[in-house]
Copies of this chain bind each other. A is one copy, B any other.
Amino acid sequence: MHLLDNEITVAFLRYATILIVKMMLMSSITAFFRMRKKAFVNPEDTTSFGKGENAKKYLRTDPDVERIRRIHLNDLENIFPFIFAGFFYSMSGVNLSTALLHYRIFLGSRIFHTIAYLIPLPQPSRALAWMAGYLVTFSMIYRVIMMAFVTS
């Protein structure tokens, strides 16, 4: 049986690819904001803006760039566990509608987390968005653990 004959694994793949694309876009947004805010971390990145002391002033941290980098790191910390858990969860014998509910809440939570972080919305918006995705991942992990520890 092929891995992708399982319709839940295919559903997982849909949500997972959207999440990976969303996470990868953070790289481009960071690069865009570094250019726009002229805030770089490597000396070789500033040479097109001038020589010597003139270029040095662009070696600085900018609050908006740092904010986007925190979103990116938060994505890494949360989306990687989702990919792991969601993949094996799709093989755990769960029914499709329950699986879709998990995948959709997670995707929604990460999109809302990014919006809440970027604007930024007043807390606890971002905290609750993060928490929703965190709990959904644990719910999937619980089922994977049940499967992995009981089936043998």
Contact = CB atoms under 8 A, between A and B. Distances in A.
B3 A91 contact: yes
Contacts of A48: 123
Contacts of A3: 3, 91
A interface SS class: helix
User: How many monomers of this protein are in the complex?
Assistant: 3
A110 interface: no
Given A10-B151, A14-B148, A27-B77, 20 more contacts: A1-B2, A2-B91, A3-B3, A3-B91, A4-B151, A7-B152, A10-B148, A13-B88, A14-B145, A17-B148, A20-B81, A21-B141, A23-B77, A24-B137, A42-B70, A42-B120, A44-B121, A44-B122, A44-B126, A83-B84
Interface of A: 1-4, 7, 10-11, 13-14, 16-17, 20-21, 23-24, 27-28, 31, 41-42, 44-45, 47-48, 67, 70, 72, 76-78, 80-81, 83-85, 88, 91, 117, 120-123, 126-127, 134, 137-138, 141, 144-145, 147-149, 151-152
